Amino acid sequence: MSNQQIIKTLNKLLQGQYMGIHAYEKFIEKLDDASPLRTRFITIQKELKQHAGLLSERIQELHGTPETSEGVLGKVQLFISEITDHPHDETEILKHAIKGQNLYGIKMTEKLVRDKLDEKSLKLVHDILNKQRKHVDYLKSALHD
């Protein structure tokens, strides 16, 4: 596989991280300042930003140019979700966050990277996925509390 293919795949993952960052921004805006969930969402968002930084570094190591936003498709998806999805309480926000992390954060990443990354990039992505699985576990436990 070529570096160009690896860079392209990593940039798609990077755009997904930006989508997650912006989605959590919207969730955080909707949560009450006193909510312990708000603090946890800020922490998750911070970790997504760290993941974006790690992906950007790897792309640069491969002599590529990292994306700087979620891209046109990501912006359209965020816009549509803002129109159609209006979670109002913590339970609904948690459900949306779980769905986003599971479907877009984990499942699509696993599908996207299959046979498209070198060993070092794949290890980085697996580390990120493990963190995201922990996010989902936390969100699910908060949903059932």
pLDDT of the residue at 49: 96
Whole-number Å distance between alpha carbons of 21 and 100:
11
Give the tokens for residue 77.
């998806």
Beta strands in 69-143 (DSSP E): none
We find that the CATH architecture of domain 3-143 is Up-down Bundle (1.20)
pLDDT of the residue at 100: 87
- Rounded average pLDDT over 86-100: 85
| pLDDT tens sequence across 109-135 | 998 898 899 999 999 999 999 999 999
| pLDDT tens sequence across 14-68 | 998 998 998 899 899 999 999 999 999 999 999 999 999 999 999 999 999 999 8
pLDDT interval class at 80 (50, 70, 90):
low
pLDDT interval class at 73 (50, 70, 90):
low
Q: What are the sequence ranges of the domains in the chain?
A: 3-143
Examine the pLDDT at 1 and tell me if it is beyond 60. Answer: yes
